[in-house]
Amino acid sequence: MHGVIRKSGHFLGYGAIGLAWLRAWRITWPGLSFIQGALLALFGTALMASADEWHQCYLPNRTGSPLDVLIDCCGTLTLQILIGLFFALFRPRLLARAV
């Protein structure tokens, strides 16, 4: 049970980080489409998750795992899809390019 709670925390935490990345990219480059911003956000989140796991390899009581990076990226992707669906249904103007 403890492992499920920890993995769920990573899933949701990195999902939130991915949404922050998405918002940052969309504000920095307003001309980006939602998909372009989402891909950049996923890439940024994957880099952060990889760096975190790499760092854990050097800690005596922790281990780094590629599976954890995958879980983190899945959290980001899932929340981005949910936000994209929400915008498509209720705020389609926000998905359009701002060019």
Per-residue pLDDT tens digits for 60-78: 888 888 999 999 999 999 9
Give the distance, in angstroms, between the CA of residue 16 and the centroid of all CA atoms in the same chain. 6
Whether this model's pTM surpasses 0.85: yes
Give the burial string for 36-52 (b: 16+ CB within 10 Å, else e): ebbebbbebbbebbbeb
Phi, psi of 58 (to 5 degrees): -95, 0
Average pLDDT across the chain, whole number: 91
In the chain, where are the structural domains located?
Answer: 2-95
Query: pLDDT at position 64, please?
Result: 84
Per-residue pLDDT tens digits for 83-99: 999 999 998 887 776 54
Amino acid at 50: S
Longest Cα separation, the chain? 50
Query: pLDDT at position 97, please?
Result: 61
